[in-house]
Structure 1
Amino acid sequence: MKGYIQIYTENGKGKITASIGLTLRALSAGKKVFFAQFAKRKIYSEIKVLDLFDTFVTVK
């Protein structure tokens, strides 16, 4: 099985939005997705959209 890892770092905006966009793109291509968020205490509204895909996406 071949997989890919995407890591978004640094200060500023756009990392969560970019990673969710890539997640949705992978889902539409029939791929499995594991979405991990490190060192965040707050759940952003963008993350909540992944709840709609809870059958396909695991968020940790």
Structure 2
Amino acid sequence: PGDPAPILDQLLFIVVALLLASLYEPLPTYVFVTALLLTLIAHFLSNVIAYALKLKSKPW
């Protein structure tokens, strides 16, 4: 309990942001799916790059 969950934190942030935005203007489903996929890909790539540059001690 209390451990960080980076991927879940980022996905929750994006989901809440899109849900709040959809209250103002309805968003198509593909926007949600694209945003989630891009978030996962960006998270993975940034971790791999940071690990390769020795900015992180673990690749996750």
Structure with the higher fraction of residues in helix conformation? 2
Q: Is TM (by shorter chain) over 0.5?
A: no
Q: Which TM-score band (shorter chain)?
A: 0.3 to 0.5
* Higher Cα Rg, which structure: 2
Q: Bigger relative contact order, structure 1 or 2, given CA contacts below 8 A and separation 6+?
A: 1
TM-score (norm 2): 0.35
TM-score (norm 1): 0.35
